[in-house]
């Protein structure tokens, strides 16, 4: 059985990892199989699976900050799939687990700060432990990457050459019977953007808005924004464009996945990064992959169609100081291209997603990779890092208990 540790219950949106889990669960359900999840009582993941009528087994996590051990719920033939964001937490929660493990890197900047000062105060020691962990994962063939950005980052950290076979792209449910439009409305262009309400996803949105405004495009444009918090997005836009007429915008927040697809079907042009970019391409919508950035994006930033992406990339993380970009398209190139040759961009966006991100192919790869792999999770949790994290969590829980007792 494939098993997952769900995101924190405070997360109102599952993000990219949530989409990965749901799509794997869907593929397994087509074959009368189900996943096992470890989730909070009202966790986003379990609620989403229920809404989608996808069968699953759930193990309730009472308190992630406790030192309770959930290893007994994992069997030796289970495959526990973890993402770099929850790996450290899992080393404590499943410290005696005799199951197999797959660590999936989905956001490569995390590999540069997997163990930060809040977890391990002495940075040079934590770096040594961090690299040792990566090497152990690679040596035992249990470390995979969604694209070359993460693979290259870990190569740089470990100074090891990593095989391209360690690329395991984001799995997406792709239907063959798409009904892409032949033409678009000449009087109104509908542009969609999907991204959580965090600065590294809102600065790219701001760049899109800036470029459209500067272009002074003659046709009417409606920008449809799907985020995790509409108020944060509106405040962010107003902070940079106080007099921008918001009547040309449509906002949605915390939209279920099936409703996102309904919104996207009416889109003429889609901008996003990561899994959200694939969500548009699989519907035959001409899709632009935009990069993440933690500050205002460079004025000369250039875009690219999803089918122009290399090495399974779905967006890099920019510093904001770049002068050279993977893309070569201006906003004018994109908008003119949509009206001049919509079908070409639509079909190529779909074909790219179908070839590289089909969830059924990726789930088959996981089972194939793990047919003869018997590396057990407790080998990791018995490491110095695993023991340190357990002791640290125990000390913190004791201090918390004393604090509550004193009150």
Same CATH topology for 2-171+363-406 and 188-357: the answer is yes
Q: What is the pLDDT of residues 233-276, one digit of tens each?
A: 999 998 888 877 667 899 999 887 778 888 999 999 999 998 88
Instruction: Choose among 111, 98, 83, 132: nearest CA to 374.
Output: 98
Residues with Cβ within 8 Å of 361's Cβ and at least 6 positions away in sequence, in order, are none
Domain boundaries, the chain: 2-171+363-406, 188-357
Chain centre distance of CA 124 = 29
Query: 313 near 149, Cβ under 8 Å?
Result: yes
Instruction: Choose among 37, 186, 228, 21: nearest CA to 106.
Output: 21
Query: 192 near 224, Cβ under 8 Å?
Result: yes
Helix (H, G, I), strand (E, B) or coil at 223: strand
330-346 mean pLDDT: 92
Fold of 2-171+363-406: Rossmann fold (3.40.50)
Looking at 2.70.150.10, 3.40.50.2000, 3.50.50.60, 2.60.40.10, the CATH number of the domain 188-357 comes to 3.40.50.2000
Helix (H, G, I), strand (E, B) or coil at 265: coil
Q: What is the pLDDT of residues 76-102, one digit of tens each?
A: 999 999 998 888 888 888 989 999 999
Q: What is the mean pLDDT of the chain?
A: 84
**How does residue 7 score in pLDDT terms, banded at 50, 70 and 90?**
confident
**How does residue 313 score in pLDDT terms, banded at 50, 70 and 90?**
confident
Q: What is the pLDDT of residue 15?
A: 64
Q: What is the pLDDT of residues 175-205, one digit of tens each?
A: 775 655 556 677 789 999 999 899 999 999 9
**How does residue 308 score in pLDDT terms, banded at 50, 70 and 90?**
very high
Backbone angles phi, psi at 226, to 5 degrees: -110, 115
Query: 275 near 16, Cβ under 8 Å?
Result: yes
**Separation CA 381–CA 93 (nearest Å):** 9
């Amino acid at each position: 059985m494939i098993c997952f540790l769900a995101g924190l219950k405070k997360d109102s949106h599952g993000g990219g990892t949530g989409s990965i889990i749901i799509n794997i669960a869907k593929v397994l359900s087509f074959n009368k199989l189900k996943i096992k999840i470890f989730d909070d009582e009202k966790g986003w993941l379990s609620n989403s699976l229920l809404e989608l009528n996808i069968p699953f087994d759930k193990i309730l996590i009472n308190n992630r900050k406790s030192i309770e051990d959930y290893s007994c719920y994992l069997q030796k033939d289970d495959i526990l799939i973890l993402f770099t964001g929850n790996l450290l937490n899992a080393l404590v929660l499943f410290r005696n687990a005799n199951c197999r493990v797959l660590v999936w890197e989905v956001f490569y900047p995390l590999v540069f700060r997997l163990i930060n000062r809040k977890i391990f105060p002495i940075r040079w020691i934590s770096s040594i432990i961090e690299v040792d962990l990566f090497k152990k994962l690679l040596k035992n063939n249990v470390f995979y990457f969604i694209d070359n950005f993460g693979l290259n980052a870990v190569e740089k950290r470990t100074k090891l050459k990593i095989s391209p076979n360690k690329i395991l792209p984001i799995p997406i449910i792709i239907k063959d019977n798409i009904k892409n439009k032949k033409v678009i409305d000449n009087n109104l262009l509908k542009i969609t953007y999907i991204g959580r309400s965090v600065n590294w996803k809102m600065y790219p949105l701001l760049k899109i808005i800036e470029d459209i405004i500067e272009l002074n495009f003659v046709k009417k444009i409606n920008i449809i924004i799907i985020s995790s918090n509409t108020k944060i997005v509106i405040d962010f836009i107003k902070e940079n464009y106080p007099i921008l007429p918001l009547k040309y915008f449509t906002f949605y927040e915390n939209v279920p996945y099936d409703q996102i697809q309904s919104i996207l079907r009416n889109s003429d042009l889609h901008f996003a990064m990561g899994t959200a970019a694939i969500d548009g391409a699989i519907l035959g919508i001409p899709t632009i992959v935009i990069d993440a950035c933690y500050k205002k994006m460079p004025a000369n930033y250039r875009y690219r169609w999803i089918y122009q992406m290399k090495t399974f990339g779905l967006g890099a993380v920019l510093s904001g100081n770049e002068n050279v970009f993977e893309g070569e398209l201006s906003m004018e190139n994109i908008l003119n291209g949509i009206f001049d040759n919509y079908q070409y961009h639509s079909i190529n966006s779909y074909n790219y997603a179908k070839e590289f991100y089909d969830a059924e192919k990726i789930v088959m790869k996981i089972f194939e990779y793990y047919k003869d792999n018997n590396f057990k999770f407790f080998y990791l949790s018995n490491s110095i890092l695993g023991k340190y994290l357990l002791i640290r969590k125990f000390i913190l829980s004791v201090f918390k208990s004393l604090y509550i007792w004193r009150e």
